[in-house]
Structure 1
């Protein structure tokens, strides 16, 4: 049994990864900003076990408080899944400044904050970091400049982790995949018909099936 911490676990891919990994008998640490959503995912977990922690990962103080709570509950994380992410789409000159901050703070800083906070534990236990990057970290896309920039940053961060972790027991995995049919697209018309995309359940199944601890996982590019 592994203890797997998943950010953005209240919906979408994070929720599906939680359910499926829990079904294999693992303990899932559900992390997100909304307690009600996390509780809903927890109720849907039939096998394995789970715990809930509310945290805005873009806030370093909240991340520190999360680490204190995990230590208090003697929770040792084996796999950190940096899944939480937000998007901002449209022509660059039309994207509000506050949206740019939110994307970079959540997608980039949040990933770095959580990884930094848990890295000592992961090194000690031979654990792993899995960063959900998406194909936006592989190539530029029209009207996705800010989102793509954030994912390129996480890609660079992950590849640098490979170097930093070479002589340790810990490792890092980058996951690149196409879009999903999730509420991620609810506030934008960037994707005209998200129902044509694969479901989070399908994507989660693919990730878990292909995950053998390798450096990179490519899905539906």
Structure 2
């Protein structure tokens, strides 16, 4: 196989697993140079072994490091065409029970850091008539009895994106918000609930990737500002409570 040089760059946050990993692999298959940003090394031999992938180890909730790490990230790379905001964490405890440092980290990662990243990279995206993808959650669109801060951050970023699109559309920049419902990923690993066992009650990563590919594959002068995808049923499962003194 003959190596080829990518002509465009994509930056994907949260690239080490789940949706971000799938998007990164897809973009490499389409000839992009992908710069993945996450706290951990990707769980993918495809990415690690690819000459088209570059990993930047960065905790995006540490916003003081973002400008230092990102300002010169494109210095030796092809033109930036795609920015994907995918990194995020969730906490669905009653609001008064969330530890303050956990709450701050969630707000910084889910809301503040994408806005800062967009600011640092927007001139490149305007110059190249690029794409901004924001991976949110269906919670950005509705009220629920749990996760007020999580939903508020997602709704805030969604609203930022809708307004930013109006600002930059004259420059040829496309901005798409993707709002998936429950997805079969590691997102629920440290939460007290998880996807239900019924396949009709959750989405697969591939289905979110299909929405991304659908938006990206449209005509150059045609854009989708928002795509919401939901499974047939609305069901989650409560995880069993394991008490520290219990033995099995």
Is the pair's TM-score, using the shorter chain for normalization, greater than 0.5?
yes
Matched, 1:33 2:35: no
For residues 103-114 of structure 1, the aligned pairs below 5 Å read 103-114=106-117
Mapping for residues 114-133 of structure 1, pairs under 5 Å: 114-133=117-136
Residue of structure 1 in register with 2:60 after alignment: 57
Runs of 4+ residues deviating >4 angstroms: none
CA distance in 1, matches of 2:50, 2:81: 19
Tell me the residue number matched to 1:173. 176
Q: Match of 2:104?
A: 101
Where structure 2 has 5 or more consecutive residues not aligned to the other structure, the ranges are 1-6, 232-248
Pick closer, same or farther for the CA change 1:174–1:206 going to 2, 3 Å. Answer: closer
Is the counterpart of residue 12 in structure 1 residue 18 in structure 2? yes
Q: Report Cα offsets for 1:32-90 as digits up to 9, x if no partner.
A: 112xx23x43x224878211111222333422233244233234321100000110112
Q: How many Å separate the matches in 2 of 1:132 and 1:120? A: 21
Higher helix share: 1
Distance 1:25 1:194, change over 3 A: farther
Is the contact between residue 57 and residue 113 of structure 1 (CA under 8 Å) also seen in structure 2? Answer: no
The partner residue of 1:160 within 148, 158, 163 is 163
Instruction: Measure, in 1, the Cα distance between the counterparts of 2:51 and 2:211.
Output: 20
Check conservation: 1:29, 1:50, Cα contact below 8 A. Answer: yes
* Partner SS state of residue 171, structure 2: coil
The answer for unaligned runs of 5 or more in structure 1 is: none
TM-score normalised to structure 1 length = 0.88
Q: Which moved more, 1:210-219 or 1:133-142?
A: 210-219
Distance 1:71 1:19, change over 3 A: closer
CA shift digits 1:147-200 (9 cap, x unpaired): 101101101111110221132222211111112111110111133647842232
Measured in 2, the distance between the counterparts of 1:47 and 1:73 equals 17
Q: What is residue 225 of structure 2 aligned with on the other side?
A: 215
Given that 2:211 and 2:227 are in contact with CA atoms closer than 8 Å, whether structure 1 keeps it comes out as no
Cα distance change on mapping 1:190 and 1:72 into 2, 3 Å: same
Given the superposition, is the C-alpha separation of residues 155 and 117 from structure 1 closer, same or farther in structure 2, using an over 3 Å criterion? same
